[in-house]
Amino acid sequence: MTNKPIYVTQPQLPKLEELIPYLENIWESKILTNNGPYHQQLEQALCEYLGVKHIALFTNGTVALVTALQTLRITGEVITTPYSFVATSHSLLWNAIKPGFVDIDPITLNLDPDKIEAAITPQTTAIMPVHCYGHPCDVDRIQKIADNYGLKVIYDAAHAFGVQCHSGSVLNHGDLSVLSFHATKVFNTFEGGAIVCPDTKTKQRVDHLKNFGFVDETIVVAPGINGKMSEFNAALGLLQLKGIDEALQKRKAIDAQYREGLAGVKGIHCLSDAGEKVANYAHFPILVRPEYPLNREALYQKLRDNGIYARRYFYPLISDFPMYRGLASAAQSNLPVASKAASEVICLPIYPALSSEQVDSVIELLVS
């Protein structure tokens, strides 16, 4: 039994005293929100760090997803994955769009490009894939399908902060990419999110939409929402960015320690990366296979009994929740790979402050 509970994640925070000067500036200026100086600085800093052209900051990732769909005027049906956090599909329902669930690839657990075409209907207008666990989707094949059928692609990149694929930042793929800066994420602003936009015109539309549709004092061009990030969150983001490389290095070391420690354990499959050039080690998912002496539920409970609060991301599948399960595409027979993964997965604790001894204690429980 470990002394202190170990949770699946623990947010990275800067030193409190480092935040004070930023707060003093905010108190002095009285600029609390609405595209203030820290907001502008963070947008600029994130563009440089992530290697993207334009970023629009948001109050959280979910409002950013809802707004991304509004930005491109997506309607009808959107193809998406059932193997994700509910916000992915919820953003479709908030836009009165019907999700079309498509099964996932057994290796990456991302949307399976081989199965997308068969799910396209005359009502389909877009694809919303997820870079699950920060592992890039097959962006080239997805783009090719989208181009052939005249569909838009909006990536839910909530897990993919800092990830680079063969062509640089994975966030440059698709028409828009949406990030989350929630407390559980690799980079957090307590709550927060962003839309990565390819050009100034799109960024401008997003900026209007996240500010009630206001263009100026008297002109409103769309039924926009309030999705603005506050100066407090933006200031925190600027500080968090200073510690991000060190945090990613620590995550990388934990990932390596798990892989080494679990390499010979029969029935425990560590999900491999998806060939990314730069990974972010956002999660450490394992699949508990029949050769393991315990089933997934028993192992999950054993970990809890020993103070290790791992999580079953992503179980249940989104398609099994009441607001989705009536859809034809939600049938288990349509989603065999996702259903199997959801029944086998456990995400082990991974976060920068997790010590090597703590990782060993988790490994020990899995091995014994």
Ligand X SMILES: Cc1ncc(COP(=O)(O)O)c(C=O)c1O
For ligand X, which is the closer residue by CB, 97 or 158? Answer: 158
CA 203, CA 150: separation in Å to the nearest integer? 22
Q: Whole-number minimum distance, CB 188 to ligand X, in Å?
A: 9
CB-based closest residue to ligand X: 61
For ligand X, which is the closer residue by CB, 116 or 132? Answer: 132
CA 230, CA 178: separation in Å to the nearest integer? 18
Q: Whole-number minimum distance, CB 180 to ligand X, in Å?
A: 3
Q: Whole-number minimum distance, CB 76 to ligand X, in Å?
A: 21
Q: Which residues bind ligand X (CB under 6 A)?
A: 60-62, 84-85, 87-88, 130, 156, 158-159, 180, 182, 193
Structure-block tokens of residue 222: 């769309």
Q: Whole-number minimum distance, CB 34 to ligand X, in Å?
A: 20
Q: Whole-number minimum distance, CB 88 to ligand X, in Å?
A: 5
For ligand X, which is the closer residue by CB, 67 or 125? Answer: 67
Q: Whole-number minimum distance, CB 282 to ligand X, in Å?
A: 9
SS3 227: coil
Place of tokens 């290095």: 249
For ligand X, which is the closer residue by CB, 6 or 57? Answer: 57
Q: Whole-number minimum distance, CB 16 to ligand X, in Å?
A: 23
Phi, psi values for residue 365, rounded to 5°:
-65, -30
- C-alpha distances (whole Å) from 190 to each of 11, 163, 237, 251, 300 are 9, 21, 9, 19, 28
For ligand X, which is the closer residue by CB, 274 or 365? Answer: 274
SS3 42: helix
For ligand X, which is the closer residue by CB, 61 or 285? Answer: 61
Contact 248, 186 (CB under 8 A): yes
SS3 344: helix
Contact 278, 162 (CB under 8 A): yes
Structure-block tokens of residue 90: 């919820």
User: Residue 100: what residue type?
Assistant: G
For ligand X, which is the closer residue by CB, 85 or 292? Answer: 85
Phi, psi values for residue 110, rounded to 5°:
-95, 160
- How many other C-beta atoms lie within 10 A of the C-beta of residue 144? 12
